Amino acid sequence: MRTKLTTALLVIFICIGMGSYAQFSNLIVFTQENEPFTIVVNGVQQNPSPETNIKITGLNAPSYKVRLHFQNPGLADIDKTVYLTPESEASYQVLKNNKGVWVIRIMGSVPIDEATQPVTGQDIYGYSTTPRLSNTTVTQTTTIQTGGMPGMGSVTFSTTQTNANSGMTITTESNGMEDRNRTRENDHEGTRDNHMERRQDNDQDRDMDRDREDYSGPRGCPRPMGTHSFEEALESIRSKTFANTKLTIAKQVVGANCLRCKQVKEIMKLFTFESDKLEFAKFAYKYTWDIKNYFLLNDAFEFESSVDELNRFINGNR
C-alpha cells in the first residue's frame, strides 16, 4: 500500500512539474488599413466580432494554421501558417502586397518579458478550442416603392441589426440599384483577388513541372514548397534576431514541408555560424525533394571540414 501511495505521489509531482515548465507564446495580428476581420486558429474562431488588432495568448505549439475572414464581403479570406518560438510574442501585419493582394507578413518576434503593453484598440483573447461566435441577430425588411425609370420600380431595403449584448438597434436604408452596383464591384474585386491567388498557384505548379522534367533521381519527400509559400517562410526566419531562434524556426518550417536543394541553401545563407549551417543541412536532408543535388549546399559553407562532415552524414543515411 505504501509503495502504491509513493508512486501515485511521484506521478502527481511529475505532472505538476511538467505543467510549471509549460511554455506559451502570444500571436498578434493587426491591420492599419481599417479592414476588420475575424481570426480562425486551427479551425476555431477566436474573436466573436470583426476587429483590426487582435492578440491571442496561451499558444503552446510551434506552428498554427490561421485564416482571416474580413468583414468586407469583397475581400477574400487569407490562409497562412504562422511559426512561434516558446515564450515569445510574434506580430503579423495584414496588408496589400505590391500586386494588390491582401497578405499576412511577419513584423517581428520578441520574448514575452520584453513585449510592450497592449496598445489602445487591441483586443486580447486567450486561445480557445471552442468557437467564439457573435451574439448579433439580424432582421431584414424590404420595402418596394414605385417610381424612378419608366417601367422600373425603385426598391429600398431597410435592414435592422440588434446586438444581444448591448441592446442597440441600428437601422440602415439604401437604394436597391446602388446596392446591386456595389455588390457587383465587390464581387469583381473578390474575383480579381482569387484570380491573382490562382495565378500564383499556377506559377508554382509550372515551376514544379519544370523541376520534374529537369530532375530524375531519388526523392526525399513527395512535393516541394511553392515559391510563394517558401518566400513567406523565409521572411519569417529572417525576421528573428537570435541565431538559436532562427535555427528553431527553420527546423519547424522544414519539418512541416518539403524543400528543394536550392531552397535549403537559401535558408542556410541566413545563418552566421558555420555550426548552425551544418546542423540545419543535416536536419533538412530527409525533407529535401531532389536529394541527388545535395552537393549544391557545399558552396554555402566556409570550411572544407564542414563539407566533409556533411558528406559523411549523407553517406551514412542513404
Q: Please, what is the Cα angle at 160 between 155 and 163, to 5 degrees?
A: 160
C-alpha grid cell for residue 100? 494588390
User: In this predicted structure, what is the pLDDT of residue 99?
Assistant: 83
Residue pair 211/260 in contact by the 8 Å Cβ criterion: yes
User: In this predicted structure, what is the pLDDT of residue 205?
Assistant: 52
CA 192, 134, 115, 237 torsion-angle sign: negative
Residue pair 228/206 in contact by the 8 Å Cβ criterion: no
Tens place of pLDDT per residue across the chain (318 aa): 555 545 555 545 554 554 445 688 999 999 978 899 999 999 999 999 999 999 999 999 888 999 999 999 999 999 998 988 888 888 898 988 888 889 998 887 788 888 777 778 889 999 999 999 876 444 444 454 544 444 445 455 454 444 444 334 444 444 544 445 544 555 555 555 555 545 555 555 555 555 555 777 888 888 888 888 889 888 889 888 888 889 999 998 898 889 999 999 999 999 999 999 999 999 999 999 999 999 999 999 999 999 999 999 999 887
Q: What CATH number was assigned to the domain covering residues 21-126?
A: 2.60.40
Residue pair 84/112 in contact by the 8 Å Cβ criterion: no
Q: Which of 215, 225, 235 is nearest to 294 (CA)?
A: 215
Residue 223 three-state SS: coil
Cβ neighbours around 157 below 10 Å, total: 16
User: In this predicted structure, what is the pLDDT of residue 65?
Assistant: 92
CA distances from 271 to 247, 261, 301 (A): 8, 16, 10
Cβ neighbours around 131 below 10 Å, total: 11
Q: Which of 210, 212, 276, 201 is nearest to 240 (CA)?
A: 276
Q: Please, what is the Cα angle at 184 between 178 and 185, to 5 degrees?
A: 90
CA distances from 316 to 220, 282, 285, 309 (A): 15, 11, 12, 11
Helices (H), the chain: 2-20, 176-214, 227-238, 243-255, 261-268, 274-284, 304-316
Q: Which of 99, 93, 138, 58 is nearest to 235 (CA)?
A: 93
Q: How far is it, in rounded angstroms, from Cα 210 to Cα 198?
A: 18
User: In this predicted structure, what is the pLDDT of residue 192?
Assistant: 54
C-alpha grid cell for residue 98? 505590391
